[in-house]
Amino acid sequence: MSSSLIPTSTPARLTATAAVKLPRLVLLVVGTIYILAGLFFRDPWKADDVIGLATMLTALSDPSGQALLLPQVGDLAHAQDGPLTTWLGALFITLFAPLLKLFTSELNANIVASRLPNLLWFGMLAASVWHSAYWLARRPEAQPLRLPFGGEPSPTAYGRMIADATLLLTVATVGILWRMHETSEVPAIIAFQALALYSLVRMFERPASGAILLGLSLGACFLTRGWLGAGPIMLATVLCFIPRGPLRQHSQWLALSAVLTLAIIMAWWIPAKRVSVYWTEQWRLWHLAAWGWAGFKEQLNNLRDLLWFLWPIWPLALLALWQWRSWFKAPHIYVPAISFIVPLISLLFMRDAFEPEYALLVVPCAILAAFSLPTLRRGVVNTLDWFAIMCFSLTATTVWLGWIAQQTGWPRQISHNIARQTQGYDTFISWPVMIIAVLGTIAWISLVRWRLSTNPPGLLRGTVLSAGGLITTWLLLVTLWMPSLDYVRSYRDVSGELSAALREHKQPGECLRSWGLGSGQRASFLVFNDIKVNFDNRCTLVLEQFSLRDLQDGKAPIPENAVQLWQGKRGPDRHEAFRLLRVSAQ
């Protein structure tokens, strides 16, 4: 941005005392608790979580290597997204599972090893987000108004404050909390988008290295989630280099980024097409089916879901766009704004858009939200502090109350509702886990007491409260409630029952096919007991998934040419069930 366009006044009003930075140890502790809580000591859940692990295990068990190049779930093609998460997950299982097997079963060792890449994804996300916000906030266009007698923060202090706030707001975003802990492509695409955004910011000062990093990150975005994930990021990138874009003076470097991106894509696509025309054609058809004009009802559903997915950062992001509207072309607003607007508009042209698509909005939204903070009046900041205290104190209390009801039977109505959802579950108390939950609660109480007793001048106190409150609630959920959640959502037990039935009834040479079996269920049976199904109509064993309501209504009869060998379901599930049939050979 030329010096003639640098504004002499900005909507940011901030003193040096309000721009105090957080100790690095605080950010480290917050990030560590955030990513480790809920990552281990649980089964993979339906659907993306267990499907991601299934593609990794299939790749390792395929001697031909085709499942490593072209992701599969057992013998069935998983022709969507990209292979990058499968590659890295398989690598981590190969490296770390043998060591983990010394302490646990082979299955649990594979599950733990497959989630280790999430530490890499979160580390990449945190570093990219922090440095993107830091360098954008140091730019002259972003500086707060100079005070008549001095006392405004230095560019370095201001940049650190905005960067800390951005990272805390990212962590405080409700929608990605669970997604960052699952074995799927979602954590990876968020991390690579953040890296691509940092590459754009880096190009203002170091265009060569920024262009190289941009090309690598865009190529990685494609290998992670195909065109569905990479397309909006690539389009937003190009719009930063248009004649009126902030990076127009470095547009010649975009060619280098494009060449690197294309080279990465072709390095996978050319051999993939040679190995399996069927897989690549299915991949192309899946992408074509994903794009299309979403109906009005679907757009309303997306808007409704986005309001909670991006909570609590979306109101602050919209406020930033309004407060900095006269500075829209400035890099610190334009780059994150265009990175937010393009994926948002792309949702209008996606059928069945959901959380993996919403995830592309989080990083740019968090950066914009951070730039709204220095524009807020003190009364508004205090109101946000009180809202965070009340909101997360209520959620933490609710988690504790539900756990007490489950353990003691009081309050009776809450206990009855929980028992209905966890039918067959035997409650117990794990004292080490309970101690962690108590310590987390004490930490939250101490944080609230710090805010109420000291009234700190730092502008970051609201973001600290939001991040701390969400992490406390999450920590309570994954300590007090993880056994119950695992019981409700895991397919380990029903998969074991099916495996036993197959050992009893399967005859030599028989194969297994499925009727109405969902992709998440298919992946679960593969992960837990290596049960593989296919679509060969000559298979005489059939695994059928059906609705219990249909069974009660007489709409799910056993076919005349079939004999039921086994029927089962997850203990608390009141909807889906499975049965193993033997049908007459065709």
What six digits make up the tokens of 422?
Answer: 């966890």
Q: Measuring CA to CA, how many Å separate 179 from each of 145, 171, 464, 518?
A: 39, 12, 21, 20
> Distance between CA atoms of 499 and 508, rounded to whole angstroms?
15
Number of Cβ within 10 Å of residue 98's Cβ equals 12
With 90 as the cut, is the pLDDT of residue 302 above it? yes
Kindly report the average pLDDT of the chain as a whole number: 94
* Region 188-215 average pLDDT: 98
Using CA of residue 348, residue 350, residue 351, residue 352, what is the dihedral sign?
A: negative
* Region 177-184 average pLDDT: 96
Q: Which residue has the tokens 């209504």?
A: 553
Q: Cβ distance 327 to 141 under 8 Å?
A: yes
Task: Find residue 526's DSSP bridge partners.
Answer: none
State the Cα angle at 298 between 47 and 574, rounded to 5°. Answer: 40
H or E element at residue 512:
strand 512-515
Instruction: Identify the three-state secondary structure at position 7.
Output: coil
* Region 219-224 average pLDDT: 98
H or E element at residue 546:
strand 541-547
Q: Which residue has the tokens 């937010």?
A: 340
Q: Measuring CA to CA, how many Å separate 75 from each of 70, 71, 169, 542?
A: 12, 10, 42, 16
With 90 as the cut, is the pLDDT of residue 552 above it? no
Question: By C-alpha distance, which of 126, 158, 192 is closest to 371?
Answer: 158
What six digits make up the tokens of 165?
Answer: 């706030």
Q: Cβ distance 471 to 171 under 8 Å?
A: yes
* Region 95-116 average pLDDT: 97
Which position has the higher pLDDT, 561 or 477? 477
Q: What is the pLDDT of residue 4?
A: 46
Give residue 586's pLDDT band: very low, low, confident or very high (50, 70, 90). Answer: low
* Region 306-332 average pLDDT: 96
Q: What is the pLDDT of residue 486?
A: 92
Give a three-class secondary structure readout of 450-487.
HHHHHCCCCCCHHHHHHHHHHHHHHHHHHHHCHHHHHH
Q: Measuring CA to CA, how many Å separate 298 from each of 47, 61, 347, 352, 358?
A: 21, 40, 10, 8, 14
Question: By C-alpha distance, which of 524, 519, 535 is closest to 81?
Answer: 519
Task: Please enumerate in sequence order all residues whose Cβ is within 8 A of that of 83, keeping only pairs 6 or more positions apart, or say none.
Answer: 68, 69, 70, 71, 223, 268
What six digits make up the tokens of 195?
Answer: 């890296």
> Distance between CA atoms of 441 and 424, rounded to whole angstroms?
29
Amino acid at position 254, single letter: L
Considering 52-61, 535-544, 547-556, the range whose residues carry the highest mean pLDDT is 52-61
- The structure's pTM equals 0.95
With 70 as the cut, is the pLDDT of residue 538 above it? yes
DSSP assignment of 252-288: GGHHHHHHHHHHHHHHHHHHHHHH-HHHHHHHHHHHH
Q: Cβ distance 76 to 282 under 8 Å?
A: no
What six digits make up the tokens of 227?
Answer: 């065109």
Number of Cβ within 10 Å of residue 563's Cβ equals 12
Domain layout of the chain by residue ranges: 3-37+116-371, 378-489, 492-583
With 70 as the cut, is the pLDDT of residue 8 above it? no
Give residue 27's pLDDT band: very low, low, confident or very high (50, 70, 90). Answer: very high
Give residue 107's pLDDT band: very low, low, confident or very high (50, 70, 90). Answer: very high
Report residue 526 CA to chain centroid gap: 23
b/e per residue 301-323 (b: at least 16 CB within 10 A): ebeebbeebbbbbbebbebbbeb
To the nearest 5 percent, what fractions of the chain are helix, strand and coil?
A: 65, 5, 25
Report residue 303 CA to chain centroid gap: 18
> Distance between CA atoms of 514 and 76, rounded to whole angstroms?
12
DSSP assignment of 152-175: PPPHHHHHHHHHHHHHHHHHT-ST
Q: Cβ distance 534 to 511 under 8 Å?
A: yes
Give residue 503's pLDDT band: very low, low, confident or very high (50, 70, 90). Answer: very high
447-476 confidence digits (pLDDT tens): 999 998 888 888 899 999 999 999 999 999
Amino acid at position 148, single letter: P
Q: What is the pLDDT of residue 2?
A: 47
Instruction: Identify the three-state secondary structure at position 542.
Output: strand
